[in-house]
Amino acid sequence: VSRAIALAPIVGILVALWRAEKEQQKQQQLGSTSSSASPSSSFLPSLVSGCGRKLLQDELAYMLTIDWGKAGLEGPTLEEEWADFRQLCKEAEELTSAMEAAEGAAALPEPPDEFVDPITASIMSDPVTLPDSQVTVDRSTVERHLLSQATDPFSRKPLTIAMVVPNTALAARIQRWKATGGKEDVGAA
pLDDT (tens digit, 9 = 90+) per residue, 18-63? Answer: 888 888 888 888 875 444 444 445 777 777 776 666 667 778 888 8
Q: What is the spatial distance between Cα 64 and Cα 105, in angstroms, rounded to a whole number?
A: 32
How confident is the model over 75-101, as a mean pLDDT?
A: 80
pLDDT at position 9: 79
pLDDT at position 33: 47
pLDDT at position 114: 93
pTM of the predicted structure, to 2 decimals: 0.47
Is 56 or 87 the better-scoring residue by pLDDT?
87
Is 116 or 9 the better-scoring residue by pLDDT?
116
Q: Which residues contact 139 (CB under 8 A, 6 or more apart)?
A: 126, 127, 128, 161, 164, 166
pLDDT at position 72: 61
